[in-house]
Amino acid sequence: MADVTSPAMPRSPSRMAKRIRALLAEPKVIFGGGFILILIILAIFAPYIAPKDPLEQDLMSGTLPPAWIEGSDPGFLLGTDDLGRDVLSRAIFGTRIALTVAFVAAGLAALIGTLLGLLAGWYGGWIDKVISRLVDIWMAFPPVLLSILLVAVFGSGVHSVIAAIVIIDWTRFCRVVRSETQAQARMDYVTAAHTIGFSRVRILFSEILPNVTPVLIALVSLEMGIAVIVEAILSFVGLSVASDTPTWGGMIAEGRQMIYQGWWVLVVPLIALFATVLAFNQLGDGLRRALDPVMRR
């Protein structure tokens, strides 16, 4: 992501502190951001936090229920799947793929989409026509099908998943940034910047981009949530990483087959997925409120 503040605006540490305080006053940022932070810690320190090896099979203790249900084994807090693998440990290791995809895919999609959106919105003319038609054509493809197709072509693996998400979802950023740029370009302050003698490139990056950023931040957060879901879908259909790496989507696929024997195998990753997407959305909304100087009253 590009720097939020314009280079022409030096900010003293105390002002930085003020901005951070404003962020911390927003409950959505606290809850969403806090949850994501916990996930990041879980992902990084997964081998130390997870009680069991996520791949270790123990056929003697297959399909054990979570700890609070009768017949459980206190060693398996959230139960086991049919191969006797610890569901909790698998869910914890699953955050690694989910977060990697979320951050890298959303970041790259935002970068490409924002750049093209800024160009289209600011320069207009044939540049806008080419980019806009490209977006139109792009969006005519059903996204899930397209991503399955792309991964099928690239071969499975986390890189392909990321590539698929970026290739599909840059259009979201492009469309929003383009229209937001156009709206900002009509504002008098842009005219005023012209009359100071700023170059067009400078006006775009130091006047318009900072005003597009709040929307962009919200969008990146949403996109991270979407990326987590897309990754889960691709894992579910077996097109993401190899099956020896635990993923939430893969767990959901396995749990679906044994939903009557052990519902927790399905429900645990589902809750993880749901909570993560919710947290990203909340964080995005909170950030937008806290960072937008006009909304921050």
Partner 1 sequence: MTSPLLSITGLSAVSDRDGKAPILRDVSLTLERGEVRGLVGESGAGKSTIAKALLGILPRSVRITDGSILFESRDLLTLSARELRGIMGSEISLIPQDPQTALNPGRRVEAQLTDGLRLKRGMSSRDARQRALKLLEEVHIRDPERVLRAYPHELSGGMRQRILIAAAFALEPKLVVADEPTTALDVTVQKQILRLIRGLQEAHGTAVIFVTHDLGVVAQICDSITLLYAGKVIEEGRTSDVLTHPQHIYTKSLISAGPRYDRPDAGLTPVPQTVFEQLRREIGIPEVRR
Of 199, 243, 257, 261, which one interacts with partner 1 (CB under 8 A)?
Answer: 199
Q: How near is the Cβ of 194 to partner 1 at its closest, in Å? A: 5
Of 141, 198, 205, 263, which one interacts with partner 1 (CB under 8 A)?
Answer: 198
Of 86, 207, 223, 231, which one interacts with partner 1 (CB under 8 A)?
Answer: 207
Q: How many residues bind partner 1 (CB under 8 A)?
A: 23
Report 136-155 residues binding partner 1 (CB under 8 A). Answer: none
Report 110-139 residues binding partner 1 (CB under 8 A). Answer: none
- Residue 179 CB contacts under 8 Å (≥ 6 apart), including other chains: 121
Q: How near is the Cβ of 206 to partner 1 at its closest, in Å? A: 8
Of 195, 201, 244, 260, which one interacts with partner 1 (CB under 8 A)?
Answer: 195
* Span interacting with partner 1, options 41-49, 161-169, 188-196, 269-277, rule CB under 8 A: 188-196
- Report residue 80: phi and psi, to 5°: -130, 165
Q: Does 213 bind partner 1 (CB under 8 A)?
A: yes
Label residue 139 exposed, middle or buried (CB < 10 Å: 0-12, 13-18, 19+).
Answer: middle
Closer CB to partner 1, 53 or 292, in the complex: 292
Q: Does 201 bind partner 1 (CB under 8 A)?
A: no
- What is each CA distance from 204 to 130, 190, 268, in whole angstroms? 19, 9, 46
Cα–Cα distance measured from residue 113 to residue 115, given in angstroms and rounded to the nearest whole number: 6
Map residues 2-21 to x or -, x wherever contact with partner 1 holds by CB under 8 A. Answer: ----x-xxx-----------
Q: Does 181 bind partner 1 (CB under 8 A)?
A: no
Closer CB to partner 1, 39 or 119, in the complex: 119
Of 27, 136, 191, 259, which one interacts with partner 1 (CB under 8 A)?
Answer: 191
CA atoms within 13 A on the CB side of 135: 23
Residues that bind partner 1 (CB under 8 A): 6, 8-10, 187-189, 191-199, 207, 210-211, 213, 293-294, 297
